[in-house]
Structure 1
Amino acid sequence: MRQLSKKTWGHVMTSEVYQQIFNISAVAMVIIQNDSLQTANKAFTELSGYNLTDLPELSFRNLIVPADLLNIIPEAFELSSFESYQKVYSFRLITHTHNVIDVRGIFSFLEWNHQPAELLQLFNSATLDSNLYETSLNIKNTAACRENDVKYEEVADSLPEVIFEMNNQGKITFTDQTAYRLFGVSEAEYQQEINVFDYVAPVEQKKMAEHIERILTGEELGISKYLLRKKDGSTFPAIIHMSRVIRDQKFIGLRGVLLDISEHKQAETQLNYLIQHDTLTGLYNRAYFETELNKRQQSKTLLGIIILDVDGLKLINDTLGHSHGDKLLKAIAEHMSINFREGDLLARVGGDEFAILLNDIDEYRINQLIGQFNSAIFEYNQTHTRVPLNISCGYVLGVGNNLSPGSLFNEADNNMRKEKLFHSQSNRSAIVQTLKKALEARDFITEGHADRLQKLVLKLTTSIGFPDNLKNDLRLFAQFHDLGKVGIPDRILFKDGPLSKKEVLEMQRHSEIGYRIAQSASELAPIAEWILHHHEWWNGNGYPLGIKGEKIPLACRLLAIVDAFDAMTNDRPYRHSLSFSEALAELKKFAGTQFDPELVNTFIEVISN
């Protein structure tokens, strides 16, 4: 077990001092030994609702929500003799009144009555920040006496705060073990008459000197933030509370409590980033954009707002999946960052909408920037032909204090929507054409499957008197009934072997995907319903809606027979083709279940001739 030195350069800490540190701290503290609670401070009793007299009867494990025990046991209770032993866990504490409190606990190794034990400091998660500050305030006057006691010395040295004293010249006359760990120095190095300014970052030394002078004159400064320096030269933020030390009615120096707030600052920085930024693109979010717009509206400079909208994003998300849509959004954010000015504020203000706030801009320059951005998007589309970017853009210029923030933004948005309306159909058609090309590229797997279907289905329509005015739609249907397969992952579409149940369900989504694509393109809209129903069965066991009999559109019943026959008589990656007679036998077998029985007979008669 580690033995702590009790003597320092000028003073010897006493049990009374350490016990005072333990008792008055605003941080809830309890000492645990063999799962039993040995002692606790007032803050712990207030947090948990238990009295000190209750402690001997309590097992610490019974104070933790059972589901959380696995998070901190056994690791937290495997005591170590390492001097730097300290573990932090989040868990739920069960109070005396059976309420549950979310807490963060810091477990530290110490000796209690010459046996291994742990000091647990508990922070209520809901009030964590205030507790940290209160801790620094409450320990500010705790270094004065002359006796020794290992128990309370270890308690104090296990705290995250550094307790120190210095003389009027800034020479450190006392500190605790926590300081050695925090600043990366040994006790021997501290004994070499180290000055407090040796461990303050140069940029902060003047401020520290001014504060010391003010405190020595009797001024109460409370808590101050400083940037401190470790032995290796690295810096960290800290809060310090200092007060005068009076002995024999003389001011002999200052006493202080120091708390490293690096983790707090990191968490604060991360939280601020999340509050201000869009997590997908890394650009600012709408809330931050509006805040900055309000600020800049107070100026008299010329402001510009550009609104960008991704055309067809919903169609891409619905057909190819959100991962493809997300790639487009990230690509736009990347090109915005490259092609607009360094001081321009870039934000994602909606699902498919972006905004740029520009200072000191004129008509010529804003059009130049938009042209530069559009050129970058054009180049992107040359190398990303499967899912190109189509963007509508609108902008507005105005003197900051002449328009309200809302009206300036709305005008830019309205201008963007006018452009979107002007070419929305052409952009949707461009996306659909791209998807159709993707389907054609994949048709090699079935060696002209769509072309063969057109010929077969037209033969069948002639025999049943299918309306002539719908035959062109039927040709289109034969060609693009599987359009939705562009949204099915290649690992499923090109799988060499039978599909799993999960993969079958994924494959079945192509009917709905194709339906949504067809609805978005004027030339495919007439066959959208057919695409949706082309895998329905005569007996109602098909998908996606499970309709049956003559409720299934005639075109779908026709194509189902022709599609199945062509699939059976041509090789697939996972099986060889059937013979002509074997394929016809399969059609007869499933007539009345999968296929319209009358149409099966007609098809067999037509194909046999």
Structure 2
Amino acid sequence: MHNNQKYKPLVAVSSEAMKLEESLKCPQMEAEESGQNEDRFYHLAESIPASIHILQDNKLVWVNSTLLKISGFTREEFMEIDYWSFIHPDFREMVGQKIDACLQGLNSPSHYEFVINTPKRNNVWVEAFTCYLEYQGKPAVIAVLYDITERKQAEEALHQSKQLLDNIISFLPDPTVVVNNKGNIIAWNRAIEDMTGVMATEMLGKGNHAYALPFYGLPRPTLLDIVLSQDKESWSQYSKVEYIGDETLATETFCPYIGFEGATLYAIASPLCDEQGNKIGAIESVRDITRQKQDQERIRYLSYHDKLTGLYNRAFFEEEIKRLDTERQLPLSIIIGDVNGLKLINDAFGHRDGDELLTSVTNLLKQSCREEDIIARWGGDEFAILLPQTSEEDALQLYKRIKNNCRQTGSYPLQISISLGVATKEYAWQNTLDVLKEAEDRMYRNKLLEHKSNRSVFITSLEKTLWMKSHETREHTTRLRRMVVKMGQSLALPENEMDNLTLLASLHDIGKIGIPKSILDKVGSLSPEEWEIIKKHPEIGYRIALSSPDLSPIADSILMHHERWDGSGYPLGKKGEDIPLNARILAIADAHDVMVNGRPYQKSMSYKEALKEIERCAGTQFDPDLAEIFIACQSKK
């Protein structure tokens, strides 16, 4: 019941009471009329469904039947009790002030709420409407009381429910904002305070899209507005909004004002409805998914990129071929490249150097290609380049540019060498996979044609690397070649063995590129541990030789060039003719040159002294027959 309606009984009863009072004051008024006024007053006071009483001099002078029923007192008992004992102690002061004001003609009629205690019920909430009244010639207060206990209990339950809801929202782990149907903020939880740095005290009650300011730096519609109004402007703020329930919306949005660099948030919003289904507000929760998006992007990147080089991988390349296989992209050219010597680098220097070679090739290809060209690592040592809208002539120009850039790069540990194949799809009817295979076939064909040139570059690079890493010199290699050629000629070796012998003279110590330079450069005596490391170079050289078709014929000789005729050499302890012929020849020539020219760890001796040492060691360190031939060849010098 509205307060204005509740005042009506008070006004009516007061009016009748005043009429009754007037009739009592006027002696001329007939008794019959006075009795009628009294009857109307009491009849009205008893018929109203409210408790009515008149208070005069702090005592109850009249109460209606309704008040008697709810209190449990008789009329006589009511007249005798202390009025203030009827009122709950917590409200006596307030009620007393209201009654005093009313008696003084202030704030009359008056409206307030308090609690009464009766023999039948304690803590009864009543809503009081009071006004001033003269009763039997003296000031009094007439009061109409309504029992509002149930309403108060409902309000308390509602308050507790709201408090519970506020606490739940406040402690939700996700940042959450709640607005009413006018868009005013009614909840701003702790998590959203932490995310935005804006306190609830600054936000509660605000409207006009104020909830967007801490996120976007300006007031703008958000999911809350879409939920409440469904207007087009709100929808246009997001690239994609999806329903995840009948009326629940979700989206991803970038918020530049969250964190140092902005954040990507996942937002969910739902309407809040009353029991009749009317929208009374909306709630939106957000979650920072920046790390998740970064992880997804990283996974996506890794799924399409080669981890080592950062280039696209084969999976992406094949997808791009399908995507670009349209007439608009013709002519579509493809280049397939194979890096020469990667296995040798891995075996000789380790996979770290092999990785550096692939990285160098990657940089070279990037420098050679256009920005729009698609470069991919096709396999272990193979690369592929996809050139949309590129003629075969232009593709061949790129081919030449890559080759030229290879020649201009440094040579440590090996000069970059790539065998390339080019093919072009010029017509829509051509099968793109056939064009890809054609580019691959041409690459392998060019690899064969370039073999001799690549072999020369390859061996030269190895020699330079060996000279840089160890004490081997170009002059030492030249002298060795000259000596072993003389030996080979004296033995009438066939041409292919002579080639192998001269190659062995150049690269027999290639394994030293795998030995730490600090040990190779040491001037004093080597420790036992260092000597064991040095003794590994034949095995390292053997692995290097096996990894290259150009060196595999001399692999065994590289492995055993430090073996001795009597079996006391290393690394296998082979002896006699179990040691390859070329290795036995080289051992004599190498020892003689070292004795004559010296090493940091060994003084030099005269030419004749060196020959005498060879003669002395024949049959123990050296093959005696070959030692004799060597001495004879060198004596003719």
User: Same fold by TM (over 0.5)?
Assistant: yes
Aligned to 2:359: 330
Equivalent residues of 1:307, 1:416 under 8 A apart = yes
Structure 2: how far apart are the matches of 1:352 and 1:374? 16
Counterparts of 1:608 and 1:355, CA distance in 2:
55
Write the mapping of 1:546-585 to structure 2, written as runs, cut at 5 A.
546-564=573-591, 566-567=593-594, 571-574=598-601
Cα shift readout 1:467-496 (whole Å, capped 9, x = no counterpart)? 465677655544442244345453443344
- The residue aligned with 1:213 is 229
Question: 1:546/1:256 Cα in 2 relative to 1: closer, same or farther (>3 Å)?
Answer: farther
Aligned-residue offset at 1:265: 0.6
For 1:422 and 1:204, the matched residues in 2 are separated by 70
Matched, 1:482 2:497: no
Instruction: Decide whether aligned partners of structure 1 residues 396 and 507 sit closer, same or farther in structure 2, where only a CA change above 3 A counts.
Output: same
State the secondary structure of the residue aligned to 1:536: coil
Query: Which residue of the partner structure matches residue 94 of structure 2?
Result: none
Match of 1:257 among 285, 293, 316: 285
1:255, CA displacement in angstroms? 1.7
**Any conservation in 1 of the 2:546–2:552 contact (CA below 8 Å)?**
no
Q: Give the residue type in structure 2 aligned to 1:387.
A: L
* Distance (Å, rounded) in 2 between the aligned partners of 1:356 and 1:543: 48
What SS does structure 2 have at the residue aligned with 1:146? helix
Distance 2:553 2:559 in 1: 12
Does residue 198 in structure 1 map to residue 213 in structure 2? Answer: yes
Sort the Cα spacing of 1:371 and 1:505 in 2 relative to 1 into closer, same or farther, 3 A: same
User: Where do 1:421-440 residues align within 5 Å?
Assistant: 421-440=448-467
| SS in structure 1 of the partner of residue 301 of structure 2 | helix
Following the alignment from structure 1 to structure 2, what is the Cα–Cα distance between the partners of residues 441 and 257? 66
**AA matched with 1:178:** A
Q: Is the 8 A contact 1:339 1:373 kept in 2?
A: yes
Q: 1:207-245 CA distances to partner (integer Å, 9 max, x unpaired)? A: 734455349999524432222343678421121222121
TM-superposed deviation, 1:276? 0.7
Check 1:425–1:192 CA distance in 2 against 1; reply closer, same or farther (3 A cut). farther
Asked if the contact 1:182–1:230 (Cα under 8 Å) also holds between the matched residues in 2, the reply is: no
Deviations 1:239-263 (A, max 9, x none): 1222121246442211233211111
State how far apart, in whole Å, the 2-side matches of 1:312 and 1:400 are.
36
**Corresponding residue number in structure 2 for 1:503:** 533
Q: Is the 1:311–1:428 Cα contact (8 Å) retained in structure 2?
A: no
Alignment of 1:591-602 (within 5 A): 595-596=621-622, 598=624
Q: Percent identity?
A: 32
Change (3 A) 1:273 1:539: farther
Is contact 1:481–1:514 with CA below 8 Å preserved after alignment?
A: no
Shift of 1:199: 3.9
> Does the Cα contact within 8 Å between 2:305 and 2:311 map onto a contact in 1?
yes
Shift of 1:511: 3.0
State the shift of 1:282 in Å.
1.0
Instruction: Work out whether 1:181 is the aligned partner of 2:197.
Output: no
Q: Distance in 1 between matches of 2:376 and 2:349?
A: 25
- TM-score, reference length from structure 1: 0.62
CA shift, 1:529, in A, is 3.5
- The letter for the 2-side match of 1:313 is L
Are positions 1:146 and 2:162 aligned together?
yes
The whole-number CA distance in structure 2 between the counterparts of 1:231 and 1:476 is 68
Deviation at 1:413, TM superposition (A): 1.5
8 Å CA contact 2:369–2:398 kept in 1: the answer is yes
For residues 505 and 238 of structure 1, what CA distance do their matches in structure 2 show? 62
Aligned positions, number: 456
Show the counterpart of 1:166.
179
- Counterpart check, 1:282 vs 2:310: yes
Q: Secondary structure at the match of 1:263?
A: helix
Give the gaps of 5 or more residues in structure 1.
1-142
What letter matches 1:560 in structure 2? A
Separation in 1 of the partners of 2:160 and 2:435?
64
Residues 298, 545 of structure 1: CA spacing in aligned structure 2 closer, same or farther, 3 A cutoff?
farther
What SS does the corresponding residue of 1:256 show, helix, strand or coil?
Answer: strand
The equivalent residue for 1:319 is 348
CA contact (8 A) 1:428 1:520 kept: no
CA shift, 1:595, in A, is: 2.7
| Residue type at the aligned position of 2:229 | E
What one-letter code is carried by the residue in structure 1 that aligns with 2:179? M
CA change 1:187–1:418 in 2 (3 A) is: same
Aligned to 2:329: 301
Q: Is the Cα–Cα contact under 8 Å of residues 240 and 256 in structure 1 kept in the other structure?
A: yes
Once the 2 structures are TM-superposed, how far is the Cα of residue 508 of structure 1 from its aligned partner? Answer: 3.9
302-311 or 231-240: bigger deviation: 231-240
Gaps of 5+ in 2: 1-158, 235-242
- CA contact 1:277–1:284 (8 Å) conserved in 2: yes
Quote the offset at 1:425 in angstroms.
2.6
Deviations 1:153-176 (A, max 9, x none): 79945x3x2233122343332132
SS in 2 for 1:396: strand
Deviation at 1:398, TM superposition (A): 1.8
Amino acid of the residue matched to residue 454 of structure 2?
N
- 1:590 deviation in Å? 8.5
Match of 2:319 in 1: 291
SS of the aligned residue for 1:402 comes to: coil
Superposed CA deviations along residues 274-327 of structure 1, whole A, max 9, x for unmatched, are 111011111100001101111222454302222222233333333344333333
In the alignment, which of 348, 353, 360 is matched to residue 389 of structure 2? Answer: 360
Aligned counterpart, 2:558: 531
Q: Which residue pairs with 2:266 in the alignment? A: 239
